[in-house]
Chain A
């Protein structure tokens, strides 16, 4: 299945991409998506952002299907065609 990931705002600058379409096996979960993100972008990301050993973000990142509710997706299965937005949890000024 294919999942599209958007790195929103300033996060895109640190990941080195605004968007990526990622192929995952059926039944994949958020942690599988994270492993793929690491494989594709770990080399771009500063250590404060990405933990290469644990294959996860080192900081709170909000992953949501819906920027309206901002419900975090990390406990649910991903489905084909999912569009996931990732936000660095920071608000300026």
Chain B
């Protein structure tokens, strides 16, 4: 088999046993890899009836894809998946660095883990072998310490580690999995799932690379891709300013939410990539094989500071969303999240919701344990510590906005989330195609599967006729957002960075050179549609209905100023359009039987329509 090892490691932590899980080539061709392959594996293992996402029967998957470890640029990524402890539905997160490449080089395409270990353990995979090692002495250690201690214990060298920190051990619902120091597979609480299994870390090393079907062509494509990436102005901007380059431009477009989604106007220049550059010394950090390096490594000798710098999402969540312009507190909040392993988006949105409720008088100083005033950066840092330690008011903050709304007797539409996953830092009122992508995202509110702002800012995908349009119009957006979502969903199957400016045609050429297959752009889109549907099937098994395909009320209220004043997306219109494209049944939210069969999801069709 080319492009893959053709096997996963299958771990039963309860029995302390491991075995090979062979993956036939046809199965891989169908589900490709990464989060899509993980969804297919999880679907097959889900028990009938209710599932406790923190129970031993919830499988946790680490998955690479066919691109991982190849010479193609911007593919040093992996996916961590399972049923989300935050949402109760399908959950996935991806991250980049050296870890993904070394996971693939360990001789496995991925790992599926079930059960719960009695004692804390970590897994060590190397050259096709595995050890389950005692992690007792690592309990309570933060993510940086954990990675270092494991590397030291294993003798250093080319070892990479993905781990949880104390937030994951305490099962904070949005705890992430950390790798390569401060890189995070942050979303959906995969760190909590890992913590529930008493699995502290996965360490990987090795020198086993799968063969490519046509190594010469792969090399050619890699060269061409590097040249396209380096010749791209967006790459230059990302290298120079990181994802923070978007802050001031996004605010002009009304795309950066402020004051817990009730405003879109904020002095964003104070938090721009340029502002960070003026205050801190910044070096760029690149995932393995990436010529861009959008990650930030940030120092300030005056403060004796050397930390991983915040991404746009993080700076927006702890910045405008909380009306905070204090760079130091944003850097401190980001660092705390990295050290303790927290998703910065869910943490920031939950904290902003606390500010909002305090402002309304729903929360009081007695209840919170401190005063909460919009823009108080020190309060943000204190609340984060309370979340990590599950201390006082931090206990409820640690469960996310939906649980907060329920706890405080507020309507659920006030919680800024979709299906329980907190809204990212792009506003659906600024790009209606984004709004429908949020409402239908396979993991809930996800800007990465449906970054439709890319399209309505003028980019296009010619193969699928996804063309720019009026960003504030809902006409025709359902179908084109669905297609774009399917394409972006595939990036997490391959697994490839969302910033890679590669067309579907080029993606097919690379995939075919690696695997020897003959994928066409049309087939690729079909695979994306299949991917969206297998993830949907997991969530439907867990009780998802069409009513959950919506945006919360707070994110649909018209704003009174800024570029998007008084415009809100027509969600019903777009959702009907979206359902038509997907072949989903309006009444039930399920894919039709015909659609499932068309996508080759015959077993799902049988399960979903047992009467025939």
Contacts and interface: CB of A to CB of B under 8 A. Distances in A.
Interface of A: 8-11, 13-14, 46, 48-49, 58-60, 62, 67-72, 85, 87-93
A14 B237 contact: yes
Contact of B458 (A13, A85, A89): A89
Contacts of B253: 67, 70
23 contacts: A9-B246, A9-B248, A9-B250, A10-B249, A13-B274, A14-B237, A46-B236, A48-B232, A49-B233, A58-B231, A59-B232, A59-B234, A68-B564, A69-B470, A69-B472, A70-B456, A89-B458, A90-B233, A90-B238, A92-B238, A92-B244, A92-B312, A93-B425
B252 A9 contact: yes
Contacts of B313: 93
Majority SS of interface residues in chain B? helix
Interface string B330-351: 0000000000000000000000
B183 interface: no
Contacts, number: 112
Interface string B454-486: 101111000000000011100000000000000
B243 interface: yes
B232 A9 contact: no
Contacts of A88: 233-234, 237, 249
Contacts of B471: 69-70
Contacts of A85: 252
B531 interface: no
Interface of B: 230-238, 240-250, 252-253, 255, 272-274, 294, 311-313, 316, 424-426, 447, 451, 453-454, 456-459, 470-472, 563-564
B128 to A, nearest CB: 37
B472 A48 contact: no
Contacts of B246: 9-10, 90-93
A68 B236 CA distance: 27
A69 B458 CA distance: 12
Contacts of A9: 245-250, 252, 272
Nearest to B447: A93
Nearest to A62: B458
Contact of B426 (A46, A62, A91): A91
B236 A93 contact: no
